[in-house]
Structure 1
């Protein structure tokens, strides 16, 4: 802009000089007063005389040329102030097609990402508070039952052996459920329910699934069910092993407790163009199509869908979906061939493996 203002001022000054020269040579007579002024200019110096025009004109043109950019500086500065004050709705408007436009675009993008991060953090905090509040409320019922039945056993000495056995069984059942709730409450207190970036390392899904199945072997034997495995090798992804293990543990537990255990549970994992695909399938009564998407909703329990008389928190599948989405993956459930299928697709980032 500085060079442009100098060149334009020089062009204008030279044009004025040539016009005055043309006018003086063609229209000014010797006796005219213009002759006197021309003589004064010669004595002062033509260059000095036109510098008086050229220098202020250069400054004026530079101001005019850069006034738009000064407005851009003001607009960008206003955007930075709004960003510093926590106002992420302000949008910086710059019409140029140079570096100022890129700065404005970067500022607007930073505002958008910060707003999304804050919204995600707020949602995470509210979700966690809601989870803990609901679980704390659910703790009261089994705890009250345990205290009530133990109180009966302690105070009523005339109870028969059968009654004592029944009250003891009920108290034990309620205690087990209470333990499950406390464990869930503890897990929720540690769980990050937002979609913030997590620490990722290379993970072999084959080894993760095989290790998880080995750890669940006692439960599999207790439920008297078989599991068929079709897991390809070298299924490497970038992810958090502990969180992904929780996903597949929830899906397998869901199949063990609510599937038709007379038929085997199937675990399949393979490499696809878009990532690693894991499918866990179990036989059982199909779930109504309109209810399938709600399985991943918070507090939506399996017994609500299948009418199974069992106490559940309705968090397992919700937590699984949250973890998968934190890994930029997808999770779906569908009915087919008399089975209920859970499909998990995790992307592969070959640049970091």
Structure 2
């Protein structure tokens, strides 16, 4: 706290020095002004007043001097006080004008932020700390606006692609059902083949519709966790078994390296979704006839789960894979295409658990690493 206050004081040091110089200069000018008035009343100004009384009122010199003495000279302190009051008013007016100048500059800078003008904010030299902060804020707002536009564009692209992808299986379903309707005497083998294809397309259509709902839910729902101790080894084995058909179809397999007594504290449904999304990504983008290694272990009250698959991700795309609506493949295969929300949601869930997730890739392998606290108190500390 002390360091923070010290930094704030340093921020305003130039402005304080400038205002202090103004105050010193104005006070000195006020003192000189008061002394000048005092000397003038006692000197040339006094003589001028006496001559004025003599010439305009036909008074003798002694009479004019007596009037001057009693009316002005003996009340010199009153004139000094008036001069001091005038000096203070002048000081206040000058200081207010200086403050108004700085506020006008800040106001102009805020106008640049509001109007989103494409220019740098420039303030007085003594306000360089405020200039830096306003320009930093301007850059932050511009970046957020660009990110929001990019996210909106990605979302629109995803909706457009999904609409196209939905039309593809729907057209196939209608086509095959039409064939079945038009040819009731179709051979049983051919009919079974068409029914099987239609069912596959219906499943794909259901998946795409679920993804449409996912787009809507992502920004509207708050992730709530119901935490408990989880048998992590069993969860990973069960997940690998669920993916067996997809893995076997391309000659792939998932191998788990983890102690059977490994546990973690968290929401089982949400963590299953995280691991599911990562493995789904590995299955979709790994090389054929390859092995996906899933390694889990305990280190200093943290559980680390690493998914490693053959295949690389370009560096320029690696940093963006946890962003909303981002997909690695621009072509968007109708068979593997998704919303690009899986890894973004996975990251949110892991952060809610007080953990972290990151990805690395080289020319041969890609790894996703998830780190989670083992104990409830560690979850609360890291989460807060």
**Short-chain TM bin:** 0.5 to 0.7
Match of 1:58 among 78, 88, 97: 88
| Equivalent-residue separation in structure 2 for 1:291 and 1:75 (angstroms) | 41
Match of 1:265 among 293, 300, 310: 293
| Equivalent-residue separation in structure 1 for 2:274 and 2:368 (angstroms) | 11
Change in Cα spacing, 1:187 to 1:272, as seen in structure 2 (3 Å) is farther
The residue that corresponds to 1:141 in the other structure is 168
Task: Give the secondary-structure state (helix, strand or coil) at the position aligned to 2:208.
Answer: helix
Once the 2 structures are TM-superposed, how far is the Cα of residue 293 of structure 1 from its aligned partner?
A: 4.1
Match of 1:300 among 300, 318, 328: 328
Once the 2 structures are TM-superposed, how far is the Cα of residue 117 of structure 1 from its aligned partner?
A: 4.8
Change in Cα spacing, 1:189 to 1:21, as seen in structure 2 (3 Å) is closer
| Deviation per residue, 1:145-170 (Å, 9 max, x gap) | 11111111111134222222222222
Change in Cα spacing, 1:49 to 1:280, as seen in structure 2 (3 Å) is same
| Equivalent-residue separation in structure 1 for 2:317 and 2:150 (angstroms) | 24
Q: Would you say how many aligned residue pairs link Structure 1 and Structure 2?
A: 331
Task: Give the secondary-structure state (helix, strand or coil) at the position aligned to 1:178.
Answer: helix
CA RMSD of aligned residues (A): 5.3
Change in Cα spacing, 1:191 to 1:108, as seen in structure 2 (3 Å) is same
2:155 aligned with 1:128: yes
- TM-score, normalised by the number of residues in structure 2: 0.62
Once the 2 structures are TM-superposed, how far is the Cα of residue 9 of structure 1 from its aligned partner?
A: 6.2
| Deviation per residue, 1:274-296 (Å, 9 max, x gap) | x97542113x4x44867974994
| Equivalent-residue separation in structure 2 for 1:295 and 1:109 (angstroms) | 23
CA contact (8 A) 2:38 2:80 kept: no
CA contact (8 A) 1:295 1:302 kept: no
The residue that corresponds to 1:311 in the other structure is 335
Once the 2 structures are TM-superposed, how far is the Cα of residue 135 of structure 1 from its aligned partner?
A: 0.3
Match of 2:101 among 53, 62, 71: 71
- TM-score, normalised by the number of residues in structure 1: 0.66
Change in Cα spacing, 1:202 to 1:55, as seen in structure 2 (3 Å) is farther
Task: Give the secondary-structure state (helix, strand or coil) at the position aligned to 1:159.
Answer: coil
Once the 2 structures are TM-superposed, how far is the Cα of residue 14 of structure 1 from its aligned partner?
A: 4.2
| Equivalent-residue separation in structure 1 for 2:298 and 2:202 (angstroms) | 41
Structure 1 regions of 5+ residues with no counterpart? none
2:177 aligned with 1:150: yes
Higher mean C-alpha deviation, range 10-19 or range 156-165: 10-19
Once the 2 structures are TM-superposed, how far is the Cα of residue 218 of structure 1 from its aligned partner?
A: 4.3
Higher mean C-alpha deviation, range 159-168 or range 38-47: 38-47
CA contact (8 A) 2:112 2:121 kept: no
The residue that corresponds to 2:308 in the other structure is 281
